Amino acid sequence: MDNFDSSAYLKRLNLSAPVEPTVEGLRTLQKAQFLTIPFENFDILLGRGIDLDPEHQFDKLVHRPRGGYCFELSGLFLRALQTFGFKARALLARVHLAGKPSGRGHQLSLVLVEGRRWVVDVAFGKDNPRGPVPLELDTVQEFNGVQYRLADGGRCGTMLQKRGDDDWRNLYSFDMEYVFPADIDYGNHYTSTSPHTFFTRDRVAIKPLEDGIVTLHNYRLTVTRNGQKMSEELPEGQRYLDALKIHFGIELDAPCEALKPIAQKG
């Protein structure tokens, strides 16, 4: 039986009471975790790797001032869903942001509630839908002024798309195949160790806000609120660590010099 400390989890999310296994409860839980626990990959760049052991995962994301990347954040969220009585299971997705599909390197959740199936994500960074998306093709959902839909992805299964200025942009695709823990371990190992992935080369932190979002890509910190964007380049050292704490609530137990150097491009 999963020893999930629901009281500590709810406190971390600033929720005063457990949610009910309803659509509204699903929306509440997704929003609370999405806005509270940041997306970040610093353990990879500290050479620690990503440990998906449930107790380690819970300690890092709930008890410590840290965040995680998709397999950590989605794993925690799935355990929370199941603890609060939702019928939920993991799905694995192929990311399409670079044009061609990746391997199954992204985790999300499939939830059956009130007679409908929903795909729910808390770990896709700045392009993450801010609410559950019903598993229905061509049904447009809008969150904070941004439109999403699920479309037929052909051989890739079902495609999540985001509306751009002129057309729909492919985000990721998934199918309904059952996901075993070993499938997640395989995806996590490649994504967190291969020199060909974004997460082993670049520093990233993302924390959504009610009225915007804060992002860090390597040294570039960008704060967007109510459509207004401000950016700055952060130096290495204490100011970098201070920015992580102020903007993302991340406190690293390591000096800045311990992070893997950022490769020069060009």
Active-site entry in 106, 156, 175, 247: 106
pLDDT for 2-43, tens place per residue? 789 999 999 999 999 999 999 999 999 999 999 999 999 999
The reported pLDDT for the residue numbered 265 is 57
| Active-site residue, 121 included | yes
pLDDT for 76-96, tens place per residue? 999 999 999 999 999 999 999
State yes or no: pLDDT of 266 exceeds 80. Answer: no
**Do 201 and 195 meet the contact criterion of CB atoms below 8 Å apart?**
yes
Give percent of the chain above pLDDT 90: 94
Query: Could you give the CA distance from residue 50 to residue 186 in angstroms, rounded to a whole number?
Result: 12
| Active-site residue, 253 included | no
| Active-site residue, 63 included | no
What pTM was computed for the model? Answer: 0.96
Task: Write phi, then psi, for 44 (nearest 5 degrees).
Answer: -65, -45
Query: Could you give the CA distance from residue 76 to residue 82 in angstroms, rounded to a whole number?
Result: 10
Give percent of the chain above pLDDT 70: 98
Work out the mean pLDDT of the chain and round it to a whole number. Answer: 95
pLDDT for 229-265, tens place per residue? 999 999 999 999 999 999 999 999 999 999 988 866 5
Active-site entry in 70, 189, 242, 247: 70
For the chain, list the domains and their CATH numbers: 6-193 (3.30.2140.20), 198-258 (no CATH)
Maximum CA pair distance of the chain? 52
Active-site entry in 121, 167, 196, 242: 121
What six digits make up the tokens of 134? Answer: 């019903």
The reported pLDDT for the residue numbered 263 is 67
pLDDT for 169-208, tens place per residue? 999 999 999 999 999 999 999 999 999 999 999 999 999 9
**Do 168 and 162 meet the contact criterion of CB atoms below 8 Å apart?**
yes
The reported pLDDT for the residue numbered 260 is 86
How many CA atoms lie within 13 Å of 137's alpha carbon, on the beta-carbon side?
9
State yes or no: pLDDT of 149 exceeds 90. Answer: yes
Per DSSP, 68 falls in state B
CA distances from 162 to 30, 112, 129 (A): 19, 23, 9
